[in-house]
Amino acid sequence: MSATLMEEIRFTEVTDENESQLTEEDQQYIIAKIYNHFGRPNNIVKQTLCLYKGWNAGGVQRARLTTYYSQNSTDMFADTTIASWFIRIGPKQICVYHKGSIENEPDLMFSSPSKGQ
């Protein structure tokens, strides 16, 4: 990665204690699984994992990972591309939906991280 580009991970805070049970390690696990499956873009300028407050009905938390990356590493503002994934986090399984998903079927499913690990 070029020294002129900065990589930032921002986690949107959820103020109500009951809204999210995800730790920072859980969030990093989810991001790593998504990048392992879909590929990690080069020249990441910024990435945001947003946990939607109030969207955790039935023990399922909704979230969105948005990654901004530059196609040209010499100018981080030219040719910026946005990749986005919608995430449904259940107690036992996490489902990820990408732009190629044309039905209700997730593009990626994996086990939720175990509590206490």
Per-domain residue ranges of the chain: 9-111
The strand order across the sheet containing 108-111 reads 9-11, 44-51, 61-70, 80-89, 93-97, 108-111
pLDDT band at 95 (very low <50, low <70, confident <90, very high): very high
Mean pLDDT across the stretch 23-36?
A: 93
pTM for the full model? Answer: 0.72
Provide, rounded to the nearest whole percent, the portion of the chain with pLDDT above 70. Answer: 67
Q: How confident is the model at residue 77 (pLDDT cuts 50, 70, 90)?
A: low
pLDDT per residue over 4-16, tens digit each?
A: 333 444 444 444 4
In degrees, rounded to 5, the angle at the alpha carbon of residue 77 between the alpha carbons of residues 86 and 11 is 35
pLDDT score of 30 more than 70: yes
Task: Count the neighbouring beta carbons within 10 Å of the beta carbon of residue 19.
Answer: 16
